């Protein structure tokens, strides 16, 4: 209940998560049928980067701040266009003040038929999220522990959807909780596309986490990771990863374009790295850099 994303909004981890989320939304929109985005840990939806909290850490400067100023290769710019266009739409003048969290970004990318279900447990953050979407009939905002939504809110009535699980990782056992949550949700909604976020930092049980995911009865599971610095001598976040279940068939090739570019533009030291690999499915060969 103490975690507040305003301190981290727009950082390098948000860039990876939101760039991939935008690609997933655009892929589902290749079909006319409606879909729903279920955002289990939604936050406040829209972040003021000029606020005292955001200025205190300034993490956005090494994330979206760098990316907006980067000279992007055409193929990279094309893949990032949905995401970056949404950010620029919120900041029509020079510079950047407002940054969209995942529920706001999703809503900005929607067609008239698409829908959002956003869960937030923190009372103050829920109130702000509810005000942001007040009167919006495309969005349903619920004050709820996001982990519970993986049972109660699946499958969506649209029968198509993206489930974004982005927990704060405040407590021990969150990697295990991600595995258990995915197993529970997949049983209810096996056709959904799932996007699970997790932190990379020194001592994190990533190998064990991946092995537990591989043990699930899920046929296709893609992993993307981006580290911006070495974890030597650092106890905090050095990178982040995404697990995408039932990924679009195009996503692996898109990651091979996006990840090297994000590494180059967001690197904080010479040890920055990336990788994309199948945990289950097409091929387990990784492409690292």
CATH topology of domain 5-280: Rossmann fold (3.40.50)
Place of tokens 């067609």: 111
Q: What is the pTM of this model?
A: 0.95
* Tens digits of residue pLDDT in 102-126: 999 999 999 999 999 999 999 999 9
Strands (E), 101-204: 115-119, 139-142, 161-165, 193-200
Mean pLDDT of 68-96: 96
Instruction: Report the mean per-residue pLDDT for the chain.
Output: 94
Cα–Cα distance, 136 to 133 (Å, whole number) = 5
Q: Using only the alpha carbons of the chain, give its radius of gyration.
A: 18
Cα–Cα distance, 52 to 200 (Å, whole number) = 26
Mean pLDDT of 15-35: 98
Residue 8, annotated ligand binder? Answer: no
Per the rule left: phi > 0, alpha: psi between -120 and 50, beta: everything else, 232 is beta
Please return the burial class of 138, using the count of CB atoms within 10 Å of its CB with bins 0-12, 13-18 and 19+: middle
**pLDDT exceeds 90 at position 288:** no
- Active site positions, annotated: 166
> Would you list the domain boundaries of the chain?
5-280
Cβ atoms 76, 261 nearer than 8 A = yes
Phi first, then psi: give them for residue 232, nearest 5 degrees.
Answer: -75, 120
* Tens digits of residue pLDDT in 165-217: 999 888 889 999 999 999 999 999 999 999 999 999 999 999 999 999 999 99
**pLDDT exceeds 70 at position 2:** no
Residue 102, annotated ligand binder? Answer: yes
pLDDT tier at 287 (50, 70, 90 boundaries)? low
Residue 106, annotated ligand binder? Answer: no
Cα–Cα distance, 74 to 66 (Å, whole number) = 17
Question: What confidence score (pLDDT) does residue 3 get?
Answer: 57
Residue 120, annotated ligand binder? Answer: yes
Phi first, then psi: give them for residue 237, nearest 5 degrees.
Answer: -70, 130
Residue 173, annotated ligand binder? Answer: no
């Amino acid at each position: 209940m103490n975690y507040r994303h305003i301190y981290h909004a727009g950082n390098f981890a948000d860039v990876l998560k939101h760039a991939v989320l935008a690609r997933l939304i655009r892929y589902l929109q290749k079909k006319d049928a409606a879909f729903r985005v279920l955002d289990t840990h939604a936050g406040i939806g829209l972040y003021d980067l000029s606020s005292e909290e955001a200025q205190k850490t300034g993490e956005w400067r090494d994330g979206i701040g760098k990316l907006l100023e980067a000279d992007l290769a055409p193929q990279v710019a094309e893949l990032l266009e949905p995401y970056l266009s949404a950010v620029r739409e919120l900041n029509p003048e020079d510079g950047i003040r407002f940054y969209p969290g995942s529920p706001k970004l999703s809503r900005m990318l929607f067609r008239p038929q698409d829908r959002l279900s956003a869960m937030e447990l923190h009372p103050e953050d829920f109130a702000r999220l509810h005000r942001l979407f007040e009167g919006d009939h495309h969005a349903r905002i619920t004050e709820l522990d996001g982990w519970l939504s993986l049972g109660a809110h699946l499958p969506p009535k649209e029968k198509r959807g993206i489930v974004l699980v982005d927990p704060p990782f405040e407590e021990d056992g969150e990697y295990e909780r991600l595995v258990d949550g995915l197993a529970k949700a997949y049983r209810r909604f096996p056709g959904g596309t799932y996007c699970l976020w997790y932190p990379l930092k020194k001592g994190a049980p990533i190998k064990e986490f991946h092995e537990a995911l591989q043990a699930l009865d899920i046929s296709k599971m893609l992993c993307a990771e981006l580290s911006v610095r070495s974890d030597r001598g650092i106890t905090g976040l050095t990178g982040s990863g995404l697990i995408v279940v039932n990924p679009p068939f195009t996503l692996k090739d898109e990651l091979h374009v996006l990840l090297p570019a994000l590494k180059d533009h967001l690197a904080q030291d010479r040890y920055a790295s990336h990788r994309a690999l199948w945990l289950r499915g097409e091929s387990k060969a990784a492409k690292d850099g």
